[in-house]
Structure 1
Amino acid sequence: MPVLSRLFFKLYHELLELSVWILVLLCLAFFTLSWGFFWLAGETALTANFVTYVYFAATTASTVGYGDFSPQTNAGKLVAAFWFFPGALLIFSAALGRLAGSMIERIRRMADGHGNYERMIGATVIVGYHREQTPLMVENLVAGDDGDDKIVLLTKVADADVPEGVYLVKSDRLDALAPLKRAGIPKAQKALVCAGSDAETFNTCLAIRELNESVHVAAFFEDRDTAHRAARIAGVETVVANTSEALVRAAQDPGAGQILMALSAANVGVTIYSAQTQNPLEVATLQQALTTLDATLIAVSQPDESDYSFCPYPELLRAGGAFYYLSKARMTAKVIQTAAGGGDVSIVA
């Protein structure tokens, strides 16, 4: 008896929730019974051919009603009027309601930060939310023209003001593997980490590296020692607060602070961009090519070296080396290669 009681309440719950299998079962039962009623009523034109019956049922249930098929006998008309029309409309409305409800629930969950973007490929994930800085980060990512068209924000803030076009993921922790997976870290292209504290940022960097060994991670730290450890252990690119240096520059060289801010923003004047060469390249050739493109070479870095070389530059940039330039917009690899003479020049922008 308890088993039957549990089974009854289970079925009752499924019926109230209008589960998919219940809806399918109701559809099959209703249209099968309807076919039988029409057959008994002598509506052979509707029941002799399966496709014809399905077509008639679909046009009737959806209220389209082309009129090319309809009951001809009095009994068939009564079946249609008192059984098929109301039943088909009820089934069709229930199916639409179930579909619309599922879509609305999915959209609501995504809007509330409960979505799952683990299968998203090439996403740019921002970990941590700051009411003033995060919208500017999104604006600069879009303006940087580096393929950041899928931006996911992972935050602990309940009332985060999410910029338009950004996917939201909410979690109580930023350094836990589960929310980072939901934010798309396993297949992400890059990640920007700016958590509430250096300790949380450090742990988040380690968790990200555990999920994705190749994703490029940029993380902000207040403390230089913590930033150095994160760069060495987690292999992330660290950005350290340089308020004191910028303040001194602005005091000693008026206007320098404004220029430093402008060079960091992709939507203001010129900005620093980077590219990589896949084969050895003479720096003089590269410098001349950038000049013809109204760009300015400012630094180069050799592969496997952490230091950057400024003017005067080395004569040769080895394969795998990176160069940094100032320009109003990011230039494609093909444009730089063509300006550098093409041929054996191979650039990855």
Structure 2
Amino acid sequence: MLLYKLRRRLFALFLDANPLGLLVVALAYVFLSYLLLVLAGEQDLTSPDVFIYWLVVTASTVGYGDYSPSTFSGRLITSFFVIPVGLSLFAVCVGKVGFYISEILTKGKKGLRMSRASNHCIIIGWNGPRTMRLINLLRCEQNSRDERILLVNDQAMDNPLPAAVDYVQVDGFTDPNTMVRANLGEASRIIIDTPLDDVTLSTALFCHRQNENAHITVYFKDEAHEGLLKSYCPSVEVVPSVSIEMLARASLDPGSASLHQCLLDPAVDASQFSMVYSAPDPTAFGELITRMRTRHQAIAIAVKKADADKLDINPPDSTQIIPGDIVYYIADNRIAGL
């Protein structure tokens, strides 16, 4: 009974010990085992080429039998110290190694690993099928953009798409101690879509403070929050809910809902894209339409001047497009450049 309690106590101490503590205990165990066997007169077992081999085989209870204590004292030491203590130490060491390997393998799946991604797209918030749909839409262009997608969630869950996206779990979307895992400062795009508008607002303010250069997109259920956010972060793009407008348009012009859905889904034949006009020389919008139609089978539909806040949809053909302006177009695929 006493031996059992001793083994339980040692086992508990070993479980709580750190790797350095285990190393110290293991070295002490080896030294004491050697010293006791020397005192017991076990010359064959304490020779340099035999001792470590015999100790490992005996402590792990493999026991090949090729070496064994020859004295009564040696047998007592082996029975009541070498085997019980060595077996406990061996089991704990194997358990610790297995625990660390399991922790490394599952840490990323549970979102507890620090992200080292850069120029990545961060999705903040989890809304079940809605977020899954968002991820799938982004993945349609993931190869062309050559960027990684990182999902950030404040709920305890495993990565829903481990083969497609990275995953980070945080204590709160404005908690700097855990949000650092998402590497916000290196992100190129941040999408914020949480179940609560108040959380979305505070998260947008936090993310803008962490990375003012990232393109931040926010969705509110109640558009009343847009003005407050814009007053502090004018560069943040707020996506409005257009369900009422779409309902009216589909009623007046049947098929409009399907048309707009197709234009927003890159998986269909033609979708709406945008690009920054980077050609060295300015051009007229009418000339740009002809060039895009001839070279890429694309249709330019709008332009946003570099110094303007609003889009100019279907502008006059004479409108000058200069480097830095954003051109919106419909095409089968994203155009790399004009």
If the length of structure 1 is used for normalisation, what is the TM-score?
A: 0.69
Specify which of 110, 127, 141 is matched with residue 130 of structure 1: 127
Contact 1:177 1:211 in 2 (8 A): no
The structure-2 alpha-carbon separation of the partners of 1:120 and 1:87, relative to structure 1 and needing over 3 Å to count, comes to farther
Identity of counterpart residues, as a percentage?
22
Q: What is the Cα deviation at residue 150 of structure 1?
A: 3.4
Partner of 2:6: none
Task: Provide Cα deviations, 1:283-337, integer angstroms capped at 9, x if missing partner.
Answer: 4357524642333323222212212233335554322222223233334x3xx3x
Q: CA deviation at 1:255?
A: 0.9
Which amino acid counterpart does residue 102 of structure 2 have in structure 1?
Answer: I
In 2, Cα distance between equivalents of 1:88 and 1:290: 79
- 2:146 partner letter: G
Give the number of aligned pairs: 313
Are the structure 2 counterparts of residues 240 and 46 from structure 1 closer, same or farther at C-alpha, using a change threshold of 3 Å? farther
Q: Alpha-carbon deviation of 1:275?
A: 2.3
Deviation at 1:258, TM superposition (A): 0.6
Match of 1:272 in 2: 272
* 2:307 alignment counterpart: 304
Task: Provide the rounded CA distance (Å) in 1 between the counterparts of 2:59 and 2:192.
Answer: 53
For 2:275 and 2:250, locate their aligned partners in 1 and report how far apart those are by CA, in whole Å: 29
Structure 2 residues not aligned, in runs of 5+: 1-9
CA positional deviation for 1:24: 1.4
- Contact 1:18–1:98 (CA under 8 A) maintained in structure 2: no
Q: Who wins on radius of gyration, i.e. which is larger?
A: 2
1:252 to 1:12, Cα distance in 2 relative to 1, 3 A: same
Q: Assess, with a 3 A threshold, how the Cα gap between structure 1 residues 102 and 211 changes in structure 2: closer, same or farther.
A: same
Q: Does structure 2 retain, via aligned residues, the 8 Å contact 1:300–1:313?
A: no
Supply the distance in 1 between the matched residues of 2:11 and 2:239 (Cα, whole angstroms). 58
- What SS is found at the alignment partner of 1:250? helix
CA distance in 2, matches of 1:279, 1:54: 74
- C-alpha displacement at 1:247, in angstroms? 1.2
Whether the 8 Å contact between 2:218 and 2:237 is mirrored in structure 1 is yes
Distance 1:316 1:74, change over 3 A: farther
- Farther-moved stretch of structure 1 (237-246 vs 214-223): 214-223
Cα distance in 2 for residues equivalent to 1:37 and 1:236: 73
Name the counterpart of 2:94.
Answer: 96
For 1:103 and 1:269, locate their aligned partners in 2 and report how far apart those are by CA, in whole Å: 46
Q: 1:57 to 1:258 in 2, by over 3 A?
A: farther
Q: Which runs of 5+ in 1 are unaligned?
A: 1-10, 341-349
1:322 is the counterpart of 2:330: no
| Amino acid of the structure 2 residue aligned with 1:181 | V
Contact kept, 8 Å, 2:271 with 2:332, in 1: the verdict is yes
SS in 2 for 1:199: helix
Counterparts of 1:216 and 1:38, CA distance in 2: 71
Residue identity in the other structure for 2:48? T
Where does residue 249 of structure 1 map in the other structure?
A: 249
CA RMSD of superposed structures (Å): 4.3
How high is the TM-score relative to the length of structure 2? 0.71
CA displacement 1:21-77 (0-9 Å, x = unmatched): 2221133334455677899866799738xxx9999999999999xx9xx979989xx
Shift of 1:86: 8.6
Residue identity opposite 1:47 in structure 2: P
